[in-house]
Amino acid sequence: MRANPETVVGIVAKPRPESGQQALGELIGWLEGRGVAYVLDPEAAKMAHRPDAPVAEREDLPKQVTLVVVLGGDGTLLSVARHSTGGDVPILGVNLGALGFLTEISTDEMLPALELCLSGKATTQHRTVLDASLNRAGKLIASFPCLNDAVLNKSAMARIIEIRVEVGGAWLTDMRADGLIVATATGSTAYNLSAGGPILTPKLDGIVLSPLCPHTLTMRPIVLDGLEPVDITLLRGSEEVFLTADGQSGSPVRQGDTVRIQRSPHGVPLVLSSHRSYFALLREKLGWGTRYP
C-alpha cells in the first residue's frame, strides 16, 4: 500500500546503542518500502548513516512534516513538543527510555501504530500546553511553552525564596519554599508526582500547583480549573532563582519579577497506544498491584 503523497514523516532520535539504531533502521525501511517521504533530525541522520537524506533541525521539523515519530524517552519528546505548539502535527512517541509516560508506544507497537496513523485510524489526544511568561518592570523578558510544567525554584546553594501566588487576579497565598511547580495534567506524572503532587488524568482541563519543600507544612498542592492565569511574583530571593519550562529551557528570575502561567490556545496532539488504556499505563509504569517477595 502506498501512502498519501502528501504524507511526510519526521523522525527524531535520541542517540542510543543497538536498540535505537535497530528501531530507526526498521522505521526507515518500512517507510521506504511504502513510498512514504521522511525527514530526519540531525541525530537520526547520524545514527542512520544517511547523509543524503532530507534533514531538518528539531525546531523546524514540525513545519515540514505531517507526523513526527520520536525514538527516545519523554525528554526527547518534550524537546519536539515545545516546537509543535500552534500546529496540528501529531507526535508518535516510541519509548526507548527508562519510563515513558509520553513515549508510550513500545518498539513492538511502532510499525502497527504508524500504519494506523497513515490510514487515519490512529487515536490522538490533544494535550494542554501552558504558556509561561517572565515579566520585569512591566516588560516581557521571556516566554516558554510547557507541555509538562513550569517550575520556579532556587538553585542548590540559594536560600529559601518567598513568592506571592495569585489566581485570576485573586490573592491565593504568600509562601516561603524552595519553589513551586505549575503542572498540566500531562505533567502531573513528572516532577509534580515526585514532589508529592496528585496525578491528573490527561483529559482533565486543569493544572496543579505543588509547593517544593514549603516552610509551612499545611501548604499543600492544589488543583485549579486552568481557565484563569496564575501569577507568581518573587517577593524575596537571591540571584539564583530560575524559571524552568519542561526541564529544558528557562530564564533567571529577579526579585520583583512576575511569572504568568496560563493555558495556551494551542495543544499538542499525541498518538495513543491502541493496546492499553491510560490506567493500564499507570499500572505498568508505577508498578501498581505488583507483589514483591
CA 160, chain centre distance (Å)? 27
pLDDT band at 20 (very low <50, low <70, confident <90, very high): confident
Percent helix, percent strand, percent coil in the chain, to nearest 5? 20, 35, 45
| pLDDT, tens digit, 9 for 90 and up, residues 233-243 | 999 876 689 99
Contact 290, 110 (CB under 8 A): no
Structure-derived torsion over alpha carbons of residues 111, 281, 122, 48, reported in degrees to the nearest 10:
-30
In single-letter form, the type of residue at position 32 comes to: E
Q: What pTM, to 2 d.p., does this model score?
A: 0.91
CA 85, chain centre distance (Å)? 11
Instruction: Determine how many CB atoms are found less than 10 A away from the CB of residue 9.
Output: 23
Instruction: From 131, 118, 105, select the one nearest 273 (Cα to Cα).
Output: 105
Is 8-127+267-286's fold the same as 130-263's? no
pLDDT band at 18 (very low <50, low <70, confident <90, very high): low
Determine the pLDDT at residue 181: 98
Residue boundaries of the structural domains of the chain = 8-127+267-286, 130-263
- pLDDT greater at residue 49 or residue 30: 30
Distance CA 168, CA 230 (A): 6
Q: Which CATH number fits domain 8-127+267-286: 3.40.50.10330, 3.30.160.270, 3.40.50.11810, 3.40.220.10?
A: 3.40.50.10330
Q: Does domain 130-263 have CATH number 3.40.50.300?
A: no
| pLDDT, tens digit, 9 for 90 and up, residues 182-233 | 999 999 999 999 999 999 999 998 999 999 999 988 999 999 999 999 999 9
Classify the C-alpha dihedral 45-75-149-87 as positive or negative: positive
Give residue for cell 501529531.
90
Q: Report residue 19 as a C-alpha cell.
A: 536498540
Catalytic residue among 41, 52, 74, 178, which? 74
| pLDDT, tens digit, 9 for 90 and up, residues 166-179 | 999 999 999 999 99
Q: Report residue 219 as a C-alpha cell.
A: 501548604
Task: Determine whether 74 is an active site residue.
Answer: yes
| pLDDT, tens digit, 9 for 90 and up, residues 48-65 | 888 788 999 999 998 999
| DSSP string of 161-184, one letter each residue | EEEEEEETTEEEEEEEESEEEEEE
Determine the pLDDT at residue 15: 78
Residue 158 has pLDDT above 90, yes or no: no
Question: What mean pLDDT comes out for the span 254-282?
Answer: 92
Residue 5 has pLDDT above 60, yes or no: no
Determine the pLDDT at residue 293: 59
